[in-house]
Amino acid sequence: MNLVPRPQYEERLTQLMELEEIKVITGVRRCGKSSLLNLAAERLRKTGVPDSNIYQHGFDEYGTPLHPTAEWLLEIVAPRLEEASKAHPFYLLLDEIQEVSHWQEAIRRLQTLPQTQILLTGSNAHVLSGDLATLIAGRYVELSMMPLSFEEYLAFRQSAGEKATTDELFNDYLLFGGMPGLARLPHTSIDERRALLSAIFDTVVLNDVATHGHIRDLELLNRLIAFTFSTSGNLVSANNICNVLKSTGRKVSPETVDSYLRALEQAYVVTPCPQTGVGGKEVLRPLRKLYPCDTGLRNLPNGFDPTKDRGFMLENVVLNELLRHGWTPRVGALPNAEVDFVATRGDERLYVQVSWSVADEITLQRELEPLRRLTDAYPRLLLTTDRLGTGTTSEGIVITNICDWLLGQ
């Protein structure tokens, strides 16, 4: 299978390869981490590194013990180290490292070897926290990976011979998300796409949320995920989630809800977006919104209805794009109003409103009003699917088509 390039991550990984530290690629399962390892191995070979100096293994593949250990890992790597050419560094590329018990102990020993470069992938943030993580603390750099951006999605679809327009492909991206395996199959039916996304979802929930989060009540976990996905874009707290579950006949404590939500965050399934006060507003007890990592996974529960929650789907895409470019998004709380995203990056700040359409004058004024109330000089942006009516208002607010924004136009 031909690998479709992902330049943003390849360039970053190339920069990190200059460092001695362990490289850890993190992100939700099936977002492309394994392919990035394959691309890295391909690039190493093109630069003259012999196969004897590249050892690559996926710990979720057939042939791996059911319960791999640190001792087993050292045993399988040892003969490859002996065979390696001394004229080149030895590259160790290990996929889904969290499947190996006490993996940090083995990796710490391997890192002490001269001329040894280590690249790891992991689908759960839990592997980089806790007591074991202290063994590699300060000795690794992390590359956070996400499902496809819209720009990458277009490249994947075009590589598969897609001829649809940009706007048509955006609607497809919005509905079915940016999981690379799905984007490579452009002409599959809704049922086939649902089956593929369901398989990804089940693997993530079972392996990366339930197992690593030590969750046994899968029925409650699935209820919580369905609620979180269907209400993304709404402010929530553990208490109000408990109240909703109680109304459906399921009693649960706020502490349990918090622990389940942490497990979802650690598996990169959802991203929390907390409130922050702007325009003189103070938030004493901030709520937060929870956005799924991928709109395709988000739309599984509603059967991929293109008319349902379109505005929230747009918000989801915008949040993920801000994260890709290093922004930290928050929900802006104004007195009796809200800014969808207050994004910060170092000394930079950006205010973003998101609306499906502002062709109606009443809707346009409603979306502009929170941005007008901001008194600082940071950029203010209104994103919409509209092609007409874009430009800059007299107050300096930029109204832009979301596809153009996602493609950097």
pLDDT at 149: 97
pLDDT at 138: 80
pLDDT at 307: 83
**Residue ranges of domains in the chain, CATH in brackets:** 7-144 (3.40.50.300), 150-406 (no CATH)
Crossing angle of helices 166-176/150-159, nearest 10°?
110
pLDDT at 253: 95
Spell out, as residue ranges, where the chain has pLDDT lower than 70: 1-2, 129-133, 186, 280, 284
How many other C-beta atoms lie within 10 A of the C-beta of residue 314?
21
High-pLDDT (> 70) share of the chain, %:
97
Number of residues assigned to the chain: 409
Q: Can you give the pTM of this predicted structure?
A: 0.93
Q: What is the pLDDT of residues 297-311, one digit of tens each?
A: 999 987 888 888 899
DSSP 279: T
Instruction: Find the angle CA(254)-CA(259)-CA(264) to the nearest 5 degrees.
Output: 120
What's 135-177 look like in SS3? HCCCCEEEEECCCCCHHHHHHHHHHCCCCCCHHHHHHHHHHHC
- The helix (H) or strand (E) run that includes residue 277 is strand 270-277
pLDDT at 128: 74
Residue 363 structure tokens: 């809707």
Q: How far apart are CA 36 and CA 73, in angstroms?
A: 22
User: Scanning the structure block, which residue is given the tokens 């990804």?
Assistant: 200
